[in-house]
Structure 1
């Protein structure tokens, strides 16, 4: 949450509720938090339950960037420590890039026309 708010200039934390020493999650982990980035309100939590699955690139967040500079900056910031699925290029539908960030969330970055 802090990472995303630092990457997007309009990022802000709206709510951040955390477990205390009584649990059931580890103290300091997120029960439920909300933050806003790129005009989108996001919710997140830390699961204390072990799951047999993880985040996949089957779902991506799509951001329409206001400028090529913003698109390049977001691409560089979000891909650092992550993965590049499609480098920034024009694939016939305008400048586009697809990255997976260090947390496994994938981002498709287009350019408003």
Structure 2
């Protein structure tokens, strides 16, 4: 669900992978348990997987991510999309070096969005 949301917000190509009967990854069919997902955009690949039952992910131990660039309209849209259902910690605010905002998305992931001065 998280990767589908990030795909909606960021764009790019989303692929979901499931394990075959030998444990090898391959394209997931509808209803398959997902082994991992990857989102490719502009030559960058983001890969994500869930925790395993023996080692579940714990809220508060997640990573934070930063997106930086100079396209104000694009990055403002990304900020708004990630904030949907989440919590804005600092709205996009002008800083001496550009504009910055900070939020926690609805999946508990922290995001910093930095818009560089043109």
In the TM superposition, residue 70 of structure 1 has moved relative to its aligned partner by 1.6
Contact 2:50/2:57, CA 8 A, preserved across alignment? no
Match of 2:65 among 50, 61, 66: 61
Q: Which runs of 5+ in 1 are unaligned?
A: none
Structure 2 stretches lacking a partner, 5+ long: 24-30
Q: What TM-score, normalized to structure 2?
A: 0.71
Report the equivalent of 2:6. Answer: 4
Q: Is the 8 A contact 2:87 2:105 kept in 1?
A: yes
8 Å contact from structure 1 (residues 85, 100) kept in 2: yes
- Counterpart of 1:85? 89
Q: CA deviation at 1:55?
A: 4.6
Q: Deviations over 1:27-67 (max 9, x none)?
A: 6332122212465311111234153722546x321111332
Q: Which runs of 4+ in 1 moved over 6 A?
A: none
Cα-Cα RMSD:
2.8
Which residue in the other structure is 1:70 paired with?
A: 74
- 1:111–1:93 Cα change, 3 Å: same
TM value normalised by structure 1: 0.74
Q: What is the total number of aligned residue pairs between the two structures?
A: 107
